[in-house]
Amino acid sequence: MRRLWVRTSLAISGVFLALLIIPTLILLILSVVFEAPAYQGDDNAAPSNPSGAVIEESREYDEHEWRDWEGERPPRGRDFVRSIPRIFLQGALVIGLFGMGAGIVVGRIMTTPITQLAQAANTIGQGDFSHRLTLKGSQEIEQLAHSFNQMAADLEQAETVRRNLMADVSHELRTPLTVLEGNLRAALDHVYELDDEELANLYSQTHHLIRLVNDLHELTLAEARRLPLDIRPTNLMQLVEETLAIFEPLAEEKEVRLVRDVPDTAVTLEIDDVRIRQVLHNLISNALRHTPAGGEIKLTVDVLTDVIRVRVADTGEGIEPEFVEHIFDRFYRTDRSRSRDTGGTGLGLAIVKAIVEAHGGYVTATSAGLGQGSQFSLLLPKGS
C-alpha cells in the first residue's frame, strides 16, 4: 500500500466507482420516492387509482400512464423499478473492474518516471556520479530528467575537483616536507652540520608551507563567498602607483622594464583596497617570474563606460593555447609558464580570480602562444 503506483491505481479506481455508485444511489432514492403504483386486487378486478377509488370506464387513459393490463401487473410496477438499481450495480461492478485495471495501467505509466528518478537518486547517493537519467514523456518529465542530469554532472565535477585538490595538496605538501625531513635526518645522523646555509634552506621550506596553507585557506573562503571584504571608496590610480613602486626595484634587478599607461586623474571605486592590491601583486609578480631579462611588463588602466579594466601584459614565456582556459585552476601548472621552480604555490591566479569575482568583476587571460608573452585583464564594475 505504500507504493505510489498502488495508491494511484486505487485512487483512479475509486473515482470510477464513485462516478457510477453515486448516480445509482440517487436513482434508487428517486425510484422509491416517485415509484409508480403497483397492481392490487384480484385478476378480474379493474385497477384502482392511488386513492383507492374505482376508475370509471368512461375515463380516458393516457396511453403513456395506463394501459389495458389484461390481468397482468403494470410494466411500471415495483419489480421493474427495483430492477433498475440492480442493472446499474451490475454495470458499476463491470466498469469498476475496468476502472481498476485502467487505474493500474495509468498508475504504472504515471509513476514509472518517479520510480526511475528515485532509483537514479539512490545510485547517485551511493557515489556513482556518472549515472544519467533518460526519461521520455511530457515536457515536465523531460525537464525533470534534464535538471537531474545537470545536478549529477555538477556533482561529478565537484567530486573530480575534490579528488584533484586532495591529490594536489598532498603533492604540494609532500615536497617541502620531504626536504625538511631529509635535512633534519641528515643533521641527526651527523652527516653534516646545520650551518647558516642549511638553516636558510629549512626556513625557506617552512615559509613555503606557511604560504601554501594560508593561500589554501584564503582561496577556500573566497570560493565559498565567505572572504571578508572591507569595501570603501578607493583611488585606484594611487593603489596602482603604490603597487608598481614595490616592484620597480625587483624589475630593475631582473633587467625587466616596468611600463605604465594609466589616467592622470583619480578613479574612485568601492573596493577592498587590500584585496585588490593583492590581485595586482599576484599578477605583476607572476609576470615578473616568467619574463626574462630584457623583457617588458606593461600595466594599463582603461576607464570604460561601466567598468574599469586593468591589464597586465608581458613579453615573457607565454602560454600554450590549450592551457589558457585552465590557467586560473588551483595548482594548475604548465611545464614552462607555471613551474614550481619559480617559487609560486600554484594558487596565486586562482586567488586572483576568486577575489575579483567577489567584487562582482571577472578576469581573463590571453596568449598568442609560447614565447609570445601573455596578458591578464581584470574588469571591475564602477559600482563594485
pLDDT, tens digit, for every residue of 208-239? 788 888 888 887 787 777 788 889 999 999 99
- What's residue 261's pLDDT? 92
Cα 64 versus chain centre, distance: 74
- What's residue 345's pLDDT? 66
More confident of the two residues 1 and 98:
98
Please determine, for residue 253, whether its predicted confidence score (pLDDT) is greater than 70: yes
- Residue 260 — pLDDT band, cuts 50, 70, 90? very high
More confident of the two residues 311 and 168:
311
Beta strand extents in the chain (DSSP E only): 232-235, 257-261, 268-271, 296-303, 307-314, 362-367, 374-381
CB 70 within 8 A of CB 63: no
> What mean pLDDT is predicted for residues 52-56?
42
More confident of the two residues 24 and 115:
115
- What's residue 67's pLDDT? 46
- What's residue 27's pLDDT? 66
CA distance 351 to 360: 14
Global model pTM greater than 0.85: no
- Bridge partners of 366, per DSSP, are 375
CA distance 382 to 270: 8
- Residue 58 — pLDDT band, cuts 50, 70, 90? very low
Q: Lowest mean pLDDT: which of 125-129, 157-161, 269-273, 287-291?
A: 157-161
Instruction: For 273-324, write each residue's pLDDT tens digit.
Output: 999 999 999 999 999 999 999 999 999 999 998 899 999 999 998 988 888 8
CB 300 within 8 A of CB 313: yes
Instruction: Output the CA torsion 295→301→307→313 (10° steps).
Output: 0
> What mean pLDDT is predicted for residues 128-150?
80
- What's residue 180's pLDDT? 82
Q: What's the farthest any 2 CA atoms get from each other in the chain? A: 146
Q: Lowest mean pLDDT: which of 29-33, 106-110, 158-162?
A: 29-33
Please determine, for residue 54, whether its predicted confidence score (pLDDT) is greater than 50: no
> What mean pLDDT is predicted for residues 333-360?
71
Please determine, for residue 52, whether its predicted confidence score (pLDDT) is greater than 50: no
Helices and strands counted in the chain (H then E): 8, 7
Cα 108 versus chain centre, distance: 29
Q: Cβ neighbours of residue 230 under 8 Å, at least 6 residues apart?
A: 272, 273, 274
CA distance 36 to 79: 10
Instruction: For 169-180, write each residue's pLDDT tens digit.
Output: 777 777 778 878
Instruction: For 73-124, write each residue's pLDDT tens digit.
Output: 444 445 544 555 566 666 667 766 776 777 677 767 777 777 788 888 888 8
